[in-house]
Amino acid sequence: MLRKTVEITNKLGMHARPATMIVKIATRFRSEFKIIKDNMEINGKSIMGVMTLAAEYGSKLELLVDGVDEEHLLNEISELFISKFGEE
């Protein structure tokens, strides 16, 4: 199991488009993927879950991955946050 804390750095926060990007990448992997924000823990492969976080600019999320391909999954997801989902 791996853990990592990431920050939302795009101005618009995690709206529909970034949420879809996360879920689409996550569902390609077999590992379990959870995202924790404040006291909420959701399944990172569920679009409803990810959007319900309503993560705003500057907020911090904890990524939790567990499974055979956890490392790759965590890398790709972190990459997304670093690239600001291709936004500003």
Partner 1 sequence: MKKIEVKEFYRTKQKDFLLSLVTEPETMERSIVSQYLSRPGLAFAGYFDQFDYKRIQILGEKEISFLQSQKSEELYRITQEIFTYDIPCFIVTKGLSVPEQMIFLANDLKIPIFVSRLTTEKLYDFLRKYLADIFAPSKTIHGTLVDVFGVGVLLTGKSGIGKSECALDLVERGRRLVTDDAVKMIAKDGKIFGKSAKNYGYFMEVRGIGLIDVAKMFGIHAVCQEKKIDVQIELMQWKDNMDYERIGLTENHVNILDMKIPIIYLPVSPGKNVSVIIEVVAMNYMLKSYGYDAAKEFTQKIQADIIRKSKK
Active site residue ranges: 15
59 binds partner 1 (CB under 8 A): yes
Site for partner 1 contains 42 (CB under 8 A):
no
24 binds partner 1 (CB under 8 A): yes
Contact assessment for residue 28 and residue 80, using Cβ atoms and an 8 Å cutoff: no
Considering only 23, 35, 65, 77, the residue that binds partner 1 (CB under 8 A) is 23
User: 């989902």: which residue's tokens?
Assistant: 85
Q: Which is nearer to partner 1, 29 or 70 (CB)?
A: 29
The C-alpha atoms of residue 35 and residue 41 are separated, in whole angstroms, by 6
Contact call for residues 46 and 20 (beta carbons, < 8 A) = no
C-beta separation of 62 from 5 below 8 A: yes
Question: Which residues contribute to the site for partner 1 (CB under 8 A)?
Answer: 12-16, 19-20, 23-24, 28, 47, 51-52, 54-59
